């Protein structure tokens, strides 16, 4: 085969492979209506694009918002927020398929997080508004009269499902929480605020505090109490290590719990019921453990057995709920997969060590039982300890 023909075939193959991705950029897209815009930008989330032409003479802007990869059961929206970067207060352009199956666009003033995106007027004039659906791409065309002579605004864009002809709530995880930014129609400058805004930073801090405290330190404290006490040389050091680890977990965990309460108060209308309820339960169980430590009977007291059972039960329930809630939080934050993989690695590491220590502990216990040396003196607080691997403090 001629060399030039091979090159031509290879070029055609590469073009066919990469042409879809090339089409999904603002600079190469051709509108079916042959409309032209002076400026465009690839929005960083939700496969969205913004095209516009600013007219300084009359303070208007002609724009097209494109949202790719949506089907006929979805709604899309793009908005300007004149006051802040949040959803509430957004002056929104919405597009969906109406009951006749045609693409339909309208305006909606979002006044709360529980909005249903009902049609309403905006705080500024929109002389022209229409929608077009082409090849799984919804496009909103609009002309805006920019308010107060401004050209720089916060922008928000979203998508969700339509049910019964009405827009339903959008996803509260991942890119749907990051799709905010700024746009200056005069200079063409845009920026993304969704990845590093104050609210997102607080979510990240909340997640890290709780993953370290409830999800890591608390299981480590339980491992210390259950397995180190069987070694005579570790007594009473295991007791103080256990108390230190669990106290640190509780203090850091309360800080994480408090940031969660603050996040809830700052996110009216957004609810993560399961995550919240488990978090409240963990705080109550952790507080009970702290008070139980203050009321701990002496080792020879007749109620000490019941206290041990209570302490063991509450502790392990708290650990199980902690791990479950860390994964609940990861699903809500939807960070990169490496974060979830890292925590899974921590859990596997702690679990595998617990299994090995469990086997070795029983080996030691049975060996001492066989030789008749199943008790040894000078335990924590000067009392005799059994070598059987039960978690008592």
Domains of the chain listed by start with CATH number: 26-191 (2.60.40), 197-368 (1.20.120.1770)
123: tokens are 């705080």
pTM equals 0.55
- Positions of the chain with pLDDT under 70: 1-24, 85, 113-114, 193-200, 266-270, 336, 372-393
How high is the pLDDT of residue 186? 92
The half-sphere exposure of 345 on its side-chain side, counting CA atoms within 13 A, is: 6
Q: Is 272 annotated as a binding residue?
A: no
How high is the pLDDT of residue 373? 58
How high is the pLDDT of residue 197? 53
- How far apart (Å, rounded) are the C-alpha atoms in residues 87 and 66? 19
288: tokens are 């009970």
Q: Is 383 annotated as a binding residue?
A: no
| 3-class DSSP assignment, residue 64 | strand
How high is the pLDDT of residue 139? 95
Q: Is 311 annotated as a binding residue?
A: yes
Q: Who's near 205: CB < 8 A, 6+ residues apart? A: 259
Say if residues 349 and 341 touch (Cβ distance below 8 Å). no
Going by C-alpha positions, the residue among 205, 201, 207 that lies closest to residue 177 is 201
Residue 304 burial (10 A CB sphere; 0-12, 13-18, 19+): middle
Q: Who's near 56: CB < 8 A, 6+ residues apart? A: 186
How high is the pLDDT of residue 203? 81
pLDDT digits (tens, 9 = 90+) for 247-276: 999 999 999 999 988 887 766 556 788 998
∠ Cα 366 367 373 (to 5°): 100
Going by C-alpha positions, the residue among 109, 86, 95, 97 that lies closest to residue 66 is 95
Distances (CA, A) of 333 to 4, 130, 283: 52, 34, 21
Going by C-alpha positions, the residue among 79, 86, 83 that lies closest to residue 142 is 79
Residue 2 burial (10 A CB sphere; 0-12, 13-18, 19+): exposed
């Amino acid at each position: 085969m001629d060399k030039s023909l091979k090159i031509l075939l290879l070029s055609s193959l590469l073009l066919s492979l990469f042409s879809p991705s090339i089409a999904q950029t603002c600079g190469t897209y051709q509108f079916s209506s042959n409309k032209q815009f002076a400026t465009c930008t690839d929005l960083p989330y939700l496969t969205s694009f913004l095209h516009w032409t600013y007219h300084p003479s009359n303070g208007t802007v002609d724009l097209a918002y494109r949202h790719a990869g949506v089907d006929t059961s979805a709604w899309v929206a793009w908005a300007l927020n004149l006051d802040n970067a949040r959803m509430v207060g957004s002056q929104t352009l919405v597009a969906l398929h109406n009951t006749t199956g045609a693409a339909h666009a309208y305006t909606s003033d979002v006044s709360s997080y529980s909005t249903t995106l009902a049609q309403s007027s905006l705080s500024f004039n929109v002389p022209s508004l229409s929608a077009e659906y082409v090849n799984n791409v919804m496009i909103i065309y609009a002309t805006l009269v920019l308010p107060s002579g401004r050209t720089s605004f916060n922008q928000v864009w979203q998508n969700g499902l339509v049910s019964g002809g009405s827009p339903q709530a959008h996803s509260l995880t991942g890119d749907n929480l990051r799709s905010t930014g700024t746009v200056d129609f005069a200079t063409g400058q845009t920026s993304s605020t969704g990845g590093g805004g104050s609210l997102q930073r607080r979510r990240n801090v909340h997640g890290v505090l709780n993953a370290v405290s409830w999800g890591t330190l608390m299981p480590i404290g339980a491992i210390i109490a259950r397995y180190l006490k069987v070694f005579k040389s570790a007594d009473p050091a295991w007791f103080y290590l256990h108390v230190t680890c669990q106290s640190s977990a509780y203090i850091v965990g309360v800080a994480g719990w408090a940031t969660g309460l603050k996040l809830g108060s700052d996110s009216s209308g957004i609810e993560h019921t399961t995550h919240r309820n488990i978090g409240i339960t963990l705080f109550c169980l952790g507080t009970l453990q702290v008070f139980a430590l203050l009321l701990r009977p002496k080792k020879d007291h007749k109620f000490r057995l019941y206290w041990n059972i209570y302490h063991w039960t509450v502790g392990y329930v708290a650990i199980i709920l902690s791990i479950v809630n860390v994964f609940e939080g990861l699903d809500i934050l939807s960070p990169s997969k490496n974060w979830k993989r890292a925590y899974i690695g921590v859990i596997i590491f702690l679990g595998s060590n617990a299994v090995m220590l469990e086997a070795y502990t029983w080996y030691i216990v049975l060996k001492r039982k066989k030789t008749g040396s199943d008790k040894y003196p000078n335990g924590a607080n000067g009392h005799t300890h059994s070598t059987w691997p039960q978690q008592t403090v």
